[in-house]
A and B are shown apart, each in its own frame.
Chain A
Amino acid sequence: MGIKTHTTRKTPRPKGKGKAPKAPMSKKTTTLPLLVEVGTEELPWQVIQPAFTHLARAIQKVLTDKRISFGAVRSMGTPRRLAVLVDEVSRKQESSRREILGPPKSAAFDAQGAPTPAAQGFAKSQGVLVKDLQIQDTAKGAYVCVVKEEKGRLTGDVLKESLPGIIEKLSFPKSMRWNDTGIRFARPIRWMVVLLGQTTVKFSVGGIVSGYTTCGHRFLKGKRGKRATISSPAQYVNTLRRVGVWVDPDERTAILKTRLSSLAKSVKGHPFPEHADSLLEQAVYSLECPHAVLGQFDSLYLHLPQEVLITSMKEHQGFFAIAGAQGQLLSRFIAPTNMKLTNMSLIRKGNERVLSARLADAQYFFNEDRKKKLADRLDDLNGVTFHKKLGTLYQKSERMVALAPFFAGASGDVQDKECCQRAALLSKADLTTGMVGEFPTLQGIMGREYARHDGEAESVCQALSEQYLPRNPDDPIPASELGQRLSLIDRIDTLAAFFRAGVIPSGSEDPLGLRRQAFGLIRILVEGTVDINICSVLRQARAQLDAHGVRGNHDAQAPSEEDALLTFLAERVRFYGRTQHGFREDVMDVILDRPTPDSFHVRDVFLRMEALQAMTAEVDFEPLIIGFKRANRLVDKEQWTSSQVDSALFEDPTEGELFFAVDKARNALSSLMTQRDYRGVLLTLLGLKPAIDQFFTAVLVNAPDAKVRANRLSLLSVVKHVFLEFGDFSKIQVQSNS
Chain B
Amino acid sequence: MTVQDLILSLHRFWAHQQCIIFQPYDIEKGAGTFNPATFLRCLGPEPWRAAYTEPCRRPTDGRYGENPNRLQHYYQYQVVLKPCPSDVQDLYLASLAQLGIDPAKHDIQFIQDDWESPTLGAWGLGWEVRLDGMEITQFTYFQEAGGQELNPITVELTYGTERIAMYIQEVESVYDLVWTDGVTYGDLFHASEVQFSTYNFEMADVKMIRTTFEAFEAECQQLLQAELPLPAYDYCMKSSHLFNLLDSRGAISVAERTGYIGRVRALARGCAEAYIEHRKKLGFPLLQPQGASQSVKRKQKRKAS
Stretch of B83-91, B224-232, B272-280 at the chain-chain interface? B83-91
Stretch of B20-28, B105-113, B186-194, B296-304 at the chain-chain interface? B105-113
Interface flag for B134 (CB, 8 Å): yes
Chain A residues with CB below 8 A from B100, complex form: none
Determine the distance from Cα of A357 to Cα of B70 in the docked complex, in whole angstroms: 10
Determine the distance from Cα of A188 to Cα of B85 in the docked complex, in whole angstroms: 11
Determine the distance from Cα of A506 to Cα of B28 in the docked complex, in whole angstroms: 43
| Sampled A-B contacts (16; CB under 8 Å) | A42-B109, A42-B127, A46-B112, A174-B114, A176-B141, A179-B84, A218-B93, A219-B103, A286-B109, A319-B133, A346-B106, A347-B106, A354-B133, A355-B133, A360-B68, A383-B253
Chain A residues with CB below 8 A from B202, complex form: none
Starting from the known contacts A180-B152, A350-B167, 14 additional A-B residue pairs (CB-CB under 8 Å) come to A41-B89, A41-B110, A42-B127, A174-B114, A176-B125, A176-B153, A179-B152, A220-B104, A341-B105, A347-B107, A351-B132, A354-B132, A355-B133, A388-B258
Interface flag for B270 (CB, 8 Å): no
Interface flag for B131 (CB, 8 Å): yes
**Total number of B residues with any Cβ neighbor in A under 8 Å:** 42
Chain B residues with CB below 8 A from A388, complex form: 255, 258
Interface set of B (CB-CB < 8 Å, partner A): 63, 66-70, 83-84, 86, 89, 93, 103-112, 114, 124-125, 127, 131-134, 141, 143, 151-153, 167, 172, 250, 253-256, 258
A342-356 vs B, CB cutoff 8 Å, 1 = contact: the mask equals 000011011101110
Task: Please indicate which of the listed interface residues B67, B68, B110, B258 has the most CB atoms of chain A within 10 Å of its own CB.
Answer: B110
Considering only CB atoms, which chain A residue lies closest to B87 in the complex? A190
Determine the distance from Cα of A221 to Cα of B102 in the docked complex, in whole angstroms: 13
A350-B151 in contact (CB<8A): no
Determine the distance from Cα of A323 to Cα of B256 in the docked complex, in whole angstroms: 44
B132-A346 in contact (CB<8A): yes
Chain B residues with CB below 8 A from A46, complex form: 112
Chain A residues with CB below 8 A from B127, complex form: 42
Determine the distance from Cα of A605 to Cα of B186 in the docked complex, in whole angstroms: 67
B83-A179 in contact (CB<8A): yes
Determine the distance from Cα of A105 to Cα of B172 in the docked complex, in whole angstroms: 93
Determine the distance from Cα of A186 to Cα of B141 in the docked complex, in whole angstroms: 11
B109-A190 in contact (CB<8A): no
Interface flag for A177 (CB, 8 Å): yes
Determine the distance from Cα of A346 to Cα of B102 in the docked complex, in whole angstroms: 12
A351-B133 in contact (CB<8A): yes
Chain B residues with CB below 8 A from A142, complex form: none
Chain A residues with CB below 8 A from B256, complex form: 385
Known A42-B110, A337-B107, A339-B106: A384·B254 in contact at CB below 8 Å? yes
Determine the distance from Cα of A221 to Cα of B63 in the docked complex, in whole angstroms: 43
Other-chain contact of B103, A218, A353, A385, A387 (Cβ < 8 Å): A218
Determine the distance from Cα of A495 to Cα of B111 in the docked complex, in whole angstroms: 37
Q: Which 8 residue pairs spanning A and B have beta carbons closest together?
A: A350-B132, A44-B112, A351-B133, A42-B110, A388-B255, A385-B254, A385-B255, A385-B253
A361-386 vs B, CB cutoff 8 Å, 1 = contact: the mask equals 10010000000000000000001110
Chain A residues with CB below 8 A from B143, complex form: 176-177
Known A176-B125, A347-B106: A335·B67 in contact at CB below 8 Å? no
Other-chain contact of B153, A178, A351, A364 (Cβ < 8 Å): A178
Considering only CB atoms, which chain B residue lies closest to A80 in the complex? B110
Main secondary structure of the interface of B (DSSP, over half): loop
Other-chain contact of A178, B107, B141, B167 (Cβ < 8 Å): B141
Interface residues of A in 86-129 (CB under 8 A from B): none
B109-A338 in contact (CB<8A): yes
Determine the distance from Cα of A186 to Cα of B69 in the docked complex, in whole angstroms: 33
Known A44-B112, A179-B83: A349·B132 in contact at CB below 8 Å? yes
A353-B89 in contact (CB<8A): no
Chain A residues with CB below 8 A from B134, complex form: 350, 353-354
B125-A187 in contact (CB<8A): yes
Other-chain contact of B151, A177, A335, A355 (Cβ < 8 Å): A177
Known A179-B153, A219-B108: A384·B89 in contact at CB below 8 Å? no
A161-186 vs B, CB cutoff 8 Å, 1 = contact: the mask equals 00000000000001111111000001
Chain A residues with CB below 8 A from B112, complex form: 42-46
Interface set of A (CB-CB < 8 Å, partner B): 41-46, 79, 174-180, 186-188, 190, 218-221, 286-287, 317, 319, 335, 337-339, 341, 346-347, 349-351, 353-355, 357, 360-361, 364, 383-385, 387-388, 392
B132-A176 in contact (CB<8A): no
Determine the distance from Cα of A44 to Cα of B45 in the docked complex, in whole angstroms: 29
B153-A350 in contact (CB<8A): no
Question: Shortest distance in angstroms between A613's beta carbon and chain B's nearest beta carbon?
Answer: 44
Chain B residues with CB below 8 A from A347, complex form: 106-107, 132
Chain B residues with CB below 8 A from A361, complex form: 67, 69-70
Considering only CB atoms, which chain B residue lies closest to A357 in the complex? B69
Other-chain contact of A174, B108, B125, B253 (Cβ < 8 Å): B125
A335-B133 in contact (CB<8A): yes
Considering only CB atoms, which chain B residue lies closest to A43 in the complex? B112
A350-B103 in contact (CB<8A): no
Known A179-B153, A355-B133, A385-B253: A188·B104 in contact at CB below 8 Å? no
Determine the distance from Cα of A42 to Cα of B125 in the docked complex, in whole angstroms: 11
Question: Shortest distance in angstroms between B126's beta carbon and chain A's nearest beta carbon?
Answer: 8
Known A179-B153, A317-B133, A357-B69: A350·B84 in contact at CB below 8 Å? no
Question: Shortest distance in angstroms between B69's beta carbon and chain A's nearest beta carbon?
Answer: 5
Considering only CB atoms, which chain B residue lies closest to A355 in the complex? B133
Other-chain contact of B124, A176, A180, A220, A319 (Cβ < 8 Å): A176
Chain B residues with CB below 8 A from A350, complex form: 106-107, 131-134, 167
Task: Please indicate which of the listed interface residues B83, B151, B253 has the most CB atoms of chain A within 10 Å of its own CB.
Answer: B253
Determine the distance from Cα of A188 to Cα of B104 in the docked complex, in whole angstroms: 24
Question: Shortest distance in angstroms between A94's beta carbon and chain B's nearest beta carbon?
Answer: 40
Question: Shortest distance in angstroms between A508's beta carbon and chain B's nearest beta carbon?
Answer: 22
Chain B residues with CB below 8 A from A219, complex form: 103-104, 108
Chain A residues with CB below 8 A from B132, complex form: 346-347, 349-351, 354
A79-B110 in contact (CB<8A): yes
B253-A392 in contact (CB<8A): yes
Chain A residues with CB below 8 A from B86, complex form: 179, 188, 190
A339-B68 in contact (CB<8A): no
Determine the distance from Cα of A347 to Cα of B250 in the docked complex, in whole angstroms: 39
Chain A residues with CB below 8 A from B103, complex form: 218-219
Question: Shortest distance in angstroms between A204's beta carbon and chain B's nearest beta carbon?
Answer: 14
Question: Shortest distance in angstroms between B102's beta carbon and chain A's nearest beta carbon?
Answer: 9
Determine the distance from Cα of A176 to Cα of B127 in the docked complex, in whole angstroms: 13
Question: Shortest distance in angstroms between A4's beta carbon and chain B's nearest beta carbon?
Answer: 26
Chain B residues with CB below 8 A from A178, complex form: 84, 141, 153
Considering only CB atoms, which chain A residue lies closest to B125 in the complex? A176
Determine the distance from Cα of A3 to Cα of B112 in the docked complex, in whole angstroms: 36
Considering only CB atoms, which chain A residue lies closest to B113 in the complex? A44
Determine the distance from Cα of A46 to Cα of B69 in the docked complex, in whole angstroms: 30
Considering only CB atoms, which chain B residue lies closest to A432 in the complex? B250
Determine the distance from Cα of A458 to Cα of B225 in the docked complex, in whole angstroms: 62
Determine the distance from Cα of A351 to Cα of B132 in the docked complex, in whole angstroms: 5
Determine the distance from Cα of A564 to Cα of B210 in the docked complex, in whole angstroms: 41
Determine the distance from Cα of A179 to Cα of B256 in the docked complex, in whole angstroms: 39
Chain A residues with CB below 8 A from B70, complex form: 361
Determine the distance from Cα of A101 to Cα of B134 in the docked complex, in whole angstroms: 70
Determine the distance from Cα of A41 to Cα of B68 in the docked complex, in whole angstroms: 34
Chain B residues with CB below 8 A from A180, complex form: 83, 151-152
Chain B residues with CB below 8 A from A387, complex form: 255
Determine the distance from Cα of A349 to Cα of B253 in the docked complex, in whole angstroms: 41
Chain A residues with CB below 8 A from B167, complex form: 350
A346-B133 in contact (CB<8A): no
Considering only CB atoms, which chain B residue lies closest to A390 in the complex? B255
Determine the distance from Cα of A156 to Cα of B109 in the docked complex, in whole angstroms: 37
Considering only CB atoms, which chain B residue lies closest to A319 in the complex? B133
Other-chain contact of A338, B69, B107, B125, B250 (Cβ < 8 Å): B107
Question: Shortest distance in angstroms between B271's beta carbon and chain A's nearest beta carbon?
Answer: 23
Considering only CB atoms, which chain B residue lies closest to A282 in the complex? B111
Determine the distance from Cα of A502 to Cα of B167 in the docked complex, in whole angstroms: 52
Question: Shortest distance in angstroms between A368's beta carbon and chain B's nearest beta carbon?
Answer: 10
Determine the distance from Cα of A45 to Cα of B109 in the docked complex, in whole angstroms: 12
